[in-house]
Structure 1
């Protein structure tokens, strides 16, 4: 009674696929030599075709080596970047942003920059839900850095609860044009977090992008 060996063909295919996946430069050269030895003397293969195949394989091998080196370089840069970012912990930095942390019993300073002198300037403070809780009319503001102290109260004079708020600055110059101010946040870096691989600095409860840092004090 003959028993048919089932699955032998599949095993051979798997082995062939594995061997193909492991083909390297030496195997490629052996195949070319074998092809030249088995060619028909009366109808020899085109030499230019062999050269083209060799060139293609060489280019592919070089690209693989370059990619490997780029991966190594990227890993080294990421390691250096993480070390550099971590070294900012404990340092005071100034970053572009609109966040302000209200701490119980304190009156935070709001820093901002104007690109030009303005005749009137309004600072608007909002809570975490986006509601306007305080509006401060400052009069004129100069081009460059400006500062205003917020007493932590709303428009009715009630002390607001501690937490995170945002502020915006808008001014009007002598020609009646609207000028928007850029908020600045100064604080001590208390930690580092990562969002999809990009580092963010923690200034207490405030998260800021590393690219927004304008000064390290």
Structure 2
């Protein structure tokens, strides 16, 4: 059975169902509006419910004490704001999906490419050395890269001099400081520089080939590298 509630000084009746929907309750079941088939929780549903209640208030207002037009305008503005936020959230969700799809396509195009990523491991094989590099957050002077063998001994120092901020790839011939060819094997690199008058440590970069693309836990694209690591697109410092 539908009950009635009076609104305004003239005692006019308004359906309890409309008031229950606006208040988010269902008196007949004691549940929230989510289980009530009269209205949903979307911004459009809330706006429709709000306008129904507003119209009921206007129709049944006391002629001697009518509604304040400024209050009505404020109420309409508030519900429009809620609707706008809902539409904005939907648009942002759609944009996020499109960006993720675009990332996957971009990452797929890098397959078989050689990229520089943060790291310190490199190798020498058949007289060729893995490309290396440094990444600087600001201009630096006296930038150096030291190459160590598996025993931790410095076998080669690359003096890069003064460098501007950014990523600097370095291709080099695998010979030691005495001019002798370096034997095949695994090596590590470290870097140093003078930044703003103080000793700094630039980010070292090493090269690896992109073997494949995977979807990471956060939904973004990940590059599977030949060195056994997986890195996101934002971790790629350079494409060689």
Q: Compute the TM-score of the two structures, normalised by the length of structure 1.
A: 0.66
Unpaired stretches in structure 2, ≥5 consecutive residues: 1-25, 164-169, 177-182
Asked if 1:48 is matched to 2:73, the reply is no
Number of matched residues? 190
Deviating 4+ runs (over 6 angstroms): 103-107
Among residues 121, 125, 128, which one is paired with 1:100 in the alignment? Answer: 121
Contact 1:201 1:210 (C-alpha < 8 Å) held by counterparts: yes
Shift of 1:187: 2.5
Asked if 1:77 is matched to 2:99, the reply is yes
Shift of 1:182: 3.9
Asked if 1:135 is matched to 2:153, the reply is yes
Asked if 1:123 is matched to 2:140, the reply is no
Shift of 1:32: 0.7
Q: Distance in 2 between matches of 1:182 and 1:67?
A: 38
Quote the RMSD (CA, aligned, Å). 3.9
Residues 92/140 of structure 1: CA separation in 2 closer, same or farther (3 Å cut): closer
Provide Cα deviations, 1:103-148, integer angstroms capped at 9, x if missing partner: 9988743623494346x8643467xxxxxx4221535613363636
Which structure has more relative contact order (CA 8 Å, sep 6+)? It is 1
Among residues 90, 106, 109, which one is paired with 1:87 in the alignment? Answer: 109
Alignment of 1:99-178 (within 5 A): 99-100=120-121, 108-109=129-130, 111-113=132-134, 115-117=140-142, 122-124=146-148, 133-138=151-156, 141-143=159-161, 145=170, 147=172, 149=174, 166-170=188-192, 178=199
| 2:29 alignment partner in structure 1 | 12
Q: Distance in 1 between matches of 2:173 and 2:193?
A: 14
Residues 188/140 of structure 1: CA separation in 2 closer, same or farther (3 Å cut): closer
Q: Compute the TM-score of the two structures, normalised by the length of structure 2.
A: 0.61
Q: Distance in 1 between matches of 2:156 and 2:198?
A: 17
Shift of 1:38: 1.9
